[in-house]
Amino acid sequence: MGIEASKTTIDELHFSVQLLASLRESSKLLTTHYSTRIEGNGLDAEQVKQLIVSDFRFAGRKRDEREVLNYYRALGYVEQLVHEDAAICERKIQTIASLVKSGKSQPKPYREGQNVIRNSETNGIVYMPPRATDVPQLMASLVAWISENIASKSLPIPMVAGLAHYQFATIHPYFDGNGRTARLLASWILQKTGYGLKGIYSLEEYYAKNLPAYYRALNVSENHNYYDGRADADITPFLEYFCGGMAVAFQRVEVRAKKQIRGTDQDVHQKILLPEQRQVLALFEKHSVVTAADVARELRVSDRQARAYCKRWTSIGFLVIADHSKRLRRYAVNGNFGEGN
How is 250-292 classified by DSSP, letter by letter? HHHHHHHHHHHHHTS-THHHHTTS-HHHHHHHHHHTT-S-EEH
Query: In the predicted model, is pLDDT for residue 264 greater than 60?
Result: no
Mean pLDDT to the nearest integer, 177-189: 96
Using pLDDT thresholds of 50, 70 and 90, give the confidence band for residue 340: very low
Using pLDDT thresholds of 50, 70 and 90, give the confidence band for residue 271: very low
Domain check: are 142 and 222 in the same one?
Answer: yes
Domain check: are 90 and 232 in the same one?
Answer: yes
Using pLDDT thresholds of 50, 70 and 90, give the confidence band for residue 306: very high
Between 303-315 and 275-284, two packed helices, what is the crossing angle to 10 degrees? 90
Among 257, 286, 271, residue whose Cα is nearest residue 10: 257
Domain check: are 255 and 329 in the same one?
Answer: no
Most confident region among 140-154, 214-228, 230-244, 306-320 by mean pLDDT:
140-154
**Residue 21: what pLDDT?**
80
Last residue of a domain, one of 260, 281, 308: 260
204 domain residue, yes or no? yes
338 domain residue, yes or no? no
Within 10 A of 54 (CB to CB), how many other CB atoms are there?
8
Mean pLDDT to the nearest integer, 43-54: 93
Domain check: are 33 and 164 in the same one?
Answer: yes
Domain check: are 236 and 307 in the same one?
Answer: no
Which stretch of 127-141, 171-185, 244-258 has the lowest confidence by average pLDDT? 244-258
Last residue of a domain, one of 233, 260, 287: 260
Element (H, E) at 319: strand 319-323
122: CB partners within 8 A, 6+ apart: none
CA distance 54 to 48: 10
Domain check: are 215 and 286 in the same one?
Answer: no
Query: In the predicted model, is pLDDT for residue 23 greater than 80?
Result: yes
Query: In the predicted model, is pLDDT for residue 22 greater than 60?
Result: yes
Domain check: are 170 and 30 in the same one?
Answer: yes
Q: Could you tell me the CATH number of the domain that includes residue 21?
A: 1.10.3290.10
**Residue 312: what pLDDT?**
83
Angle at 198 between CA 7 and CA 108, to 5 degrees: 115
CA distance 135 to 129: 9
Last residue of a domain, one of 200, 228, 260: 260
**Residue 143: what pLDDT?**
98
Using pLDDT thresholds of 50, 70 and 90, give the confidence band for residue 325: low
SS3 for 95? helix
256 domain residue, yes or no? yes
**Residue 188: what pLDDT?**
97
239 domain residue, yes or no? yes
Domain check: are 180 and 319 in the same one?
Answer: no
Contact (Cβ atoms closer than 8 angstroms) between residue 279 and residue 27 = no
299 domain residue, yes or no? yes
Contact (Cβ atoms closer than 8 angstroms) between residue 165 and residue 188 = no
Domain count, the chain: 2
DSSP 114-154: ---EE-TTT--EEEBPPPGGGHHHHHHHHHHHHHHHHHH--
Strands (E) in the chain, as ranges, are 117-118, 125-127, 290-291, 319-323, 330-333
Domain check: are 169 and 61 in the same one?
Answer: yes
Total number of residues shown for the chain: 341
Query: 205 is in which domain, residue-wise?
Result: 2-260
Query: In the predicted model, is pLDDT for residue 341 greater than 60?
Result: no
CA distance 216 to 208: 13
Percent of the chain with pLDDT over 90: 51
- The sign of the CA dihedral 299, 302, 303, 305 is negative
pLDDT in tens, 274-287: 778 888 887 887 78
**Residue 266: what pLDDT?**
46
C-alpha neighbours within 13 Å on the C-beta side of residue 189: 29
How far, in whole angstroms, is CA 59 from its chain's centroid? Answer: 29
